[in-house]
Structure 1
Amino acid sequence: MNSYKDLDIYKIALDLFYQVHPATLLLPKYELYELGSQLRRSSDSVVSNIIEGYGRKRYKADFIRFLVFSHSSCLETKGHLEKIHNLYEGLIPDNLKFINDYDILGAKIFNFIKYVEENWKT
């Protein structure tokens, strides 16, 4: 592994970010800067924390800490998507797929955290 770009969790998180970001623009105008903004920021945070954590990979505890932040942002993103589903059902066609995809990503991040905890050599 030569870069954070080699991590599957990074690739999946970035792909989901690129899918979710434009979908938030389908929300009503009054939600663009409320729930839409929160969703955009949390989905970006999943990716950004993976990158920043990898940048600190020399320090195992820092790497894990940022992966935990990424996992937390993943859960936050899923929560925002669930709110949108309940408030605006059908408005975002792929919303249930996004919820499922973030659930899968969260499990992958969690498993990677366990891997780093048990196997990471600094």
Structure 2
Amino acid sequence: MSIKSTEQEIASFCFKEIPSSNKTQLADNNDKLSKFKSDIRRLPAMITNNGLLATMTFYKKNNDKVYNIINKWFSNKSGRDIDLIKYLTNLTYEELLFKTSEALKLADWLKRIVEVKIKDDKTTQEE
């Protein structure tokens, strides 16, 4: 049995959750993929500026794919299916700070991996 750090667990989870694709090959999904990548890129800043609860509420309404990834992470960590918004509202202040720190690590890894796995049109034209 190997022991993984939290960073390794998060990186592995994110790598599995972000689909590999080349946007030029998926013309019909190009707008959706572009929006998804954009939303992932700004996720860490949104958590930092607005807080985890407000950010997750925003994403639940505007990009449920991003919300579902974060929800899945916290569901897996708690060992049960949760509604992330309800879960976060029931935490103490200290617990919410800890979960926010964990979500920022997750958001940073999502951002890194989305840059690698979802290629921009500009990048693929240069290759």
TMscore range, shorter length: 0.3 to 0.5
TM-score (normalised: structure 2): 0.38
Higher relative contact order (CA 8 A, sep 6+): 2
TM-score (normalised: structure 1): 0.39
